[in-house]
Amino acid sequence: MKITEYYSLENIVSWIKSIFYALFKPKFFAREIESRSNSELLAQYSFYFLSCTIFYIFISVDFQKESLFKQSVLDLLINSSIFLPVLITTIILCKVERGKKVKIAFLYFLAIIFCFLPILLLLKAAFYGMEDYFYELVTNIITVASFIYINYIVAIVLKSGWKSIVSFLALNYLLINVFLLGTTVFRFDRYAPQNINDRLLTEYIDLYSSLNCQDEIPTVLTYTGYKDDFKFGFALWNLLDTASTKTDFGKVDLYRKQLDENIKMIDEKQFSFYRNKAIAIEYKHYFNEIKKTIEQVHTYPTDLREYGYKLDLMGLPIDTILIFTKQIEVDNIIAERNKLVEYYNEFMDSKEKSRYPHEIIYRLQYAPSILIMKLFYKKEI
């Protein structure tokens, strides 16, 4: 029989049922796989592949295509890389019909991948469409579920009896930790970024890191007269430095230039996400508020002539004299900055909460490896 002849409605319904068996009746799934020929299995899994491909094309939109597929497949590939200990465990413990058991383990692994991939694609599309980290949280829960199926439920597929299942789980657990320690010790590039597949966060960080003077605001306005030349300046207070006030008047021109560059960069930057576009507008309001505050307190040299700036000290003329100082009202600036801080905290908090499922399974799965690394590796400075 040709492979194409397997694509009957009856067989397609049977293949769909097999996915549910893999999830809820793993033993029955194994028996089904054993009863089917290689040609039928090839037709079955090509159907899964084509279904996932068509589903991906259907739900993708232009700006999502690369990131949607990349992140969904990357999440699964991370779990897939852990499948190697499963194969080794199968080879070691399944001494009877070893080749058949390896085949069943591999096909079970593919079935789980094809089962979870459409769900992850749909959740990623929802995440990028709604820009809500709730969908990222659900995505991570599904990813953790795929990890559990690939690495632990497979023991039920391959083994009978609790002792055999527990032995399989224990050896696989040990091997996964050995692999983690190995990749940690022999990591080729220790400075490679570990979380670059979140386009929403990446775009925000790109905006955040491109802006200057985010935490420096003018506080004390100062005019200095030197002969017939007046210099305008102000103290810059770094809001992150609660211990002291910085009064570097030489930075005034650079400071104003950086404000203008920030506003220009925001106007020219193209954003893929509404959420980041909205925060960019808030940044623009913030920098414009600083500029407006500076201009409101600015006094031109001609307005200061009435003060007279010559002073004699013990009969000696002093050419340089502090003419004028004034405290700048920063309430509006602080109010605008508080909006930015609130947004940043909310963004990072949502991202962190969405990673809770990964953190939980990581600590449970890799507890021995984490303990060993803490004992034998010094903290990097």
In sequence order, what DSSP letters do the residues of 181-236 get, joined into one string?
HHHHHT-S-TTS-S----HHHHHHHHHHHH---SSEEEEEEEEEEETTEEEEEEEE
Same domain (yes/no): 248, 311: yes
Residue 375 domain-assigned (yes or no): no
Same domain (yes/no): 126, 225: no
Looking at residue 84, its pLDDT comes to 82
- Selection from 65-74, 211-220, 317-326 with the highest mean pLDDT: 211-220
pLDDT tens figures, 181-217: 777 666 655 555 555 568 888 899 889 888 887 888 8
Same domain (yes/no): 24, 142: yes
- Selection from 16-25, 142-151, 359-368 with the highest mean pLDDT: 16-25
Same domain (yes/no): 211, 177: no
Of 293, 311, 329, which marks where a domain is finished?
329
**d(C-alpha 377, C-alpha 56), whole Å:** 43
Same domain (yes/no): 89, 234: no
Looking at residue 16, its pLDDT comes to 92
Same domain (yes/no): 94, 74: yes
Same domain (yes/no): 160, 289: no
**d(C-alpha 73, C-alpha 85), whole Å:** 20
Residue 335 domain-assigned (yes or no): no
Same domain (yes/no): 70, 100: yes
Q: What is the residue type of 33?
A: I
Same domain (yes/no): 111, 232: no
> Could you tell me the residue range of the domain that residue 250 belongs to?
203-329
Q: What is the residue type of 345?
A: N
Looking at residue 186, its pLDDT comes to 62
Length of the chain, in residues: 381
Q: Whose structure tokens read 């079970």?
A: 108
Strand, helix or coil for residue 311: strand
**d(C-alpha 48, C-alpha 6), whole Å:** 13
Looking at residue 313, its pLDDT comes to 43
Residue 363 domain-assigned (yes or no): no
Residue 348 domain-assigned (yes or no): no
Of 194, 223, 253, which marks where a domain is finished?
194
Residue 346 domain-assigned (yes or no): no
Same domain (yes/no): 173, 277: no
pLDDT-wise least confident of 112-116, 172-176, 206-210, 230-234: 230-234
Residue 10 domain-assigned (yes or no): yes
Which carries the bigger pLDDT value, residue 227 or residue 27?
27
Same domain (yes/no): 17, 149: yes
Residue 303 domain-assigned (yes or no): yes
Strand partners, 232: 223
Which carries the bigger pLDDT value, residue 72 or residue 45?
45
Looking at residue 15, its pLDDT comes to 92
Res. 64 pLDDT band, cuts 50 70 90 = low
> What is the torsional sign of CA 86, 88, 94, 99?
positive
Angle between helices 65-81 and 133-148 (to 10 degrees): 30
Of 135, 161, 194, which marks where a domain is finished?
194
Same domain (yes/no): 155, 222: no
Indicate the number of domains in the chain. Answer: 2
Upper half-sphere CA count for residue 280 (Cβ side, 13 Å)? 23
CA 150 to chain CA mean position, Å = 24
Res. 244 pLDDT band, cuts 50 70 90 = very low
Tell me the pTM. Answer: 0.79
Residue 242 domain-assigned (yes or no): yes
Over pLDDT 90: what percentage of the chain? Answer: 19
